[in-house]
Chain A
Amino acid sequence: MARKEYAFYPGCSSQKGASASNYLTSVESMCKTLDIKMTEIPDWNCCGASISYAEAGELPRHVMNARNFALAEQNLPGQDILATCAACWLGARESKERLEHSDVLMADTNEALKEAGLNIKVIPEVRHMVEVLIEDLGYDELKKPVKKPLEGMKFAGYVGCQTNRPFGIHGESFENPVYLDKLIETVGGEAVPYDQKVTCCGGALAFSEPDKAQAQIRDIIESAYDNGAEMIVTPCPLCQANVEVYQGSINKKYGTKFNIPVLYYSQLMTLAYGGSAKEAALDGNVIRARKLEEFAGR
């Protein structure tokens, strides 16, 4: 039996061929080493993300999350829900909180769920992957399997918004959370201090207001470079995509020469645990992390 078991909620972006599929590959490699068993919630659905607020309204959004709660409770009783995506985690936790605080919303939700043949009695805990790593295992346990420390490499730990606010990782400050820096150090890397650690990448507005979002992304990358980072590391699929894929557009617009790889913490951990470039899904990065590819080949 695995050391820990969870009801896994991968979310839309992590599926095969989707924008964060490299996140999922590296998480699976990392969890194999750490002996964490994740069982996918059968037939899970999209959380609606933050951006659907205007079209969805309130109850339909909660009902979408509630369907996942009901499916988890029914099929994987007693297991916490584990999300890798920051927005899935936030959306699901928000719905859990609202439903638990309002008998009216809970009753309406169950009435709607009945249409899909489901109902909720107890909503499972909703956890983010980094929460599970830090709270259920702890930095010492995460350090034990390190075979190849990422010595001499400098990373900017880009926490961003949604794993940090409004819920955050227990015990961390909103203004200067240090968990990601500690994860970088746990696998032997150097976490550079820089001032845009919790700046918003623009989120979904990278689509609808590209100029404003790209101005924010520029600030984040510039600060990472200015403080000596060689790579950026993040726990959020949208942060990863936004900060990585618009570097070309930003260069055109601002005359910058950005070309900095943006990785997931799970990719660093997989490599430090002795995993291959393939297991860490380094081929999934649009801006290739050459230094890490060489490191993995050693």
Chain B
Amino acid sequence: MSDMNQQMAARYKNNFLKEVEAQVEMGEWVKMCMQCGVCAGSCPTNFHPGWEHPPQEIFMMIRAGKREEVLTSPSMWMCTSCYNCYVRCPRKLPITHIMHGLAEYAYQLGVAPKFQPTQHLSKTFWDNCTKTGRVNEVKLTQTLYFRDGLMAGIKQGLAMKDVALGLVKAKRLNLMEALGFGHKCKDIKGIHAMLAKARELEAKRKGRQPA
């Protein structure tokens, strides 16, 4: 267990609902769920099948205090941000944001599943776009493919070479971006300072140790 995880579990004294309400984005909505299951039936990933626990189960588990089961579940990481559950929920729960919020909290506590591919994508994407203020698509793809080492990356790259060649031919993939040429903001320094401040303020407001 990470330090922050222990600290948070102690702070909320096994009242996991209260913890979610205080720490998770839009967590105060969880208690509004009436267990109808429309979210589960609306999730595109759920059909294929992706979820260990669909959203309404997660909500009930939170109320039942199943802290570890919820935070370590891969379920929330299956969200594609399609907002279908969000617009269909009869109680108007912002389910998409609650799923993102739970995933974020579990990740910050260090208890989310290890080597979860969407978690890796989230970090890769944010690091990539905040480095220069704009996404470098070539470097984004490289980082994703080479996650499991050089050979795996080459294999993955070869499997996807037709896709990449098609995009290069259509002038929609600029290989010069790999060398650092490409799009960036002018005030990168300002962006970094602003984001550092935002992280500090958020950690303070939520009573979390700064990362």
Contact = CB atoms under 8 A, between A and B. Distances in A.
B133 A212 contact: no
Contacts of B201: 59, 108, 111-112
Given A20-B172, A200-B82, A216-B48, A57 B163 contact: no
A74 interface: no
A91 to B, nearest CB: 10
Interface string A44-69: 11101111111111111011100100
B122 interface: yes
Report whether over half of chain B's contact residues are helix, strand or loop; otherwise say mixed. Answer: helix
Interface residues of B, number: 70
B50 A52 contact: no
A43 B194 CA distance: 15
B70 interface: no
Interface stretch (A136-144, A186-194, A265-273, A280-288): A280-288
Interface of A: 12-13, 15-22, 43-46, 48-60, 62-64, 67, 104, 108-109, 111-118, 161-162, 165-166, 174, 198-200, 202-205, 207-209, 212-213, 215-216, 245-246, 248-249, 283-286
B163 to A, nearest CB: 5
Interface string B39-57: 0000011001010000000
Contacts of B96: 166
Given A57-B104, A60-B199, A116-B190, A208 B120 contact: yes
B171 A165 contact: no
Given A46-B134, A48-B126, A52-B129, A112 B163 contact: no
B198 A285 contact: no
B170 A53 contact: no
Interface stretch (B11-19, B60-68, B179-187): B179-187
A224 to B, nearest CB: 16
